[in-house]
Amino acid sequence: MRRLAGTSLIVAATALAATIIRDAPAEPVVVPPDPSAWDAPTLVSNVCSKCHGASGRSISPLFPNLASQQTSYIEAQLKLFRQRGRSDPHARAFMWGMARALSDDQIEALARYFASQPPARGTVSSNPALTERGKSIYEKGVPERGVIACMTCHGPNAEGQGDNAFPRLAGQHRDYLILQLRYFHALLRENAVMQGVAATITDDDIAAVAEYLSSK
């Protein structure tokens, strides 16, 4: 199986994501610094829904579904965005400005809001063979290349594990999963565990796992 194409693929994917907001105002939307200014439903309606949808089911396959996501994972990621501790191209382009003025209370409220929403439904795969290979990788890994089973951290049904802030992956957009796995492989997204997992994966592995998870 071929190795990842690397940085050029990531740059292309990020450029594609940027076209989604090419008609947006020059100044980014920034959350008001006053913690009492907007509660979670108002923040979602006025800010988050532009990319993630009003109920956490996103309007673009390059932005993640947040509906029914683990509360602890959303909290952890928003705090990383706020302190610029996550520096992958997607984070820089879209989330640094959005999160920079969020208070801890707002972050917790947003996490609870999205976690309480019904999960996004998976899409039916048109490639059963690829889905089956992805299921095998998810459940068993690729031992000969040191790739551990995804379910070890993300749960048997890809529902995530809140106690350890491992995210829900079931029903996530295929394109978003592919993009993030490529970021981990290229060391463009900080996470020691995932960088290790992604070190020896291939394009074919990524396509298979993404196909499987997006269908759940």
d(CA 114, CA 150) in angstroms, rounded, equals: 23
pLDDT at 38: 78
Report, as an integer, the average pLDDT of 185-201. 95
Q: Which residue has the higher pLDDT, 37 or 124?
A: 124
Averaged pLDDT, 180-204: 96
Instruction: Label residues 95-128 b or e (16+ Cβ within 10 Å = b).
Output: bbebbeebeeebbbbbbebbbebebbebeebeee
Model confidence pLDDT, tens digit, residues 10-27:
445 554 444 444 343 334
What is the pLDDT, as a whole number, of residue 34? Answer: 58
Mean per-residue pLDDT, 176-200: 96
Please name the residue ranges forming H helices in 53-171: 71-82, 89-90, 96-99, 104-115, 128-140, 151-154
Element (H, E) at 18: helix 7-19
Which token pair is 36?
């009492």
Which domains, and CATH codes, for the chain?
7-115 (1.10.760.10), 128-214 (1.10.760.10)
Tell me: the pLDDT tens digits for 125-160? Answer: 999 999 999 999 999 999 999 999 999 999 999 999
Q: Tens digits of per-residue pLDDT, 35-92?
A: 555 799 999 999 999 999 999 999 899 999 999 999 999 999 999 999 999 999 999 9
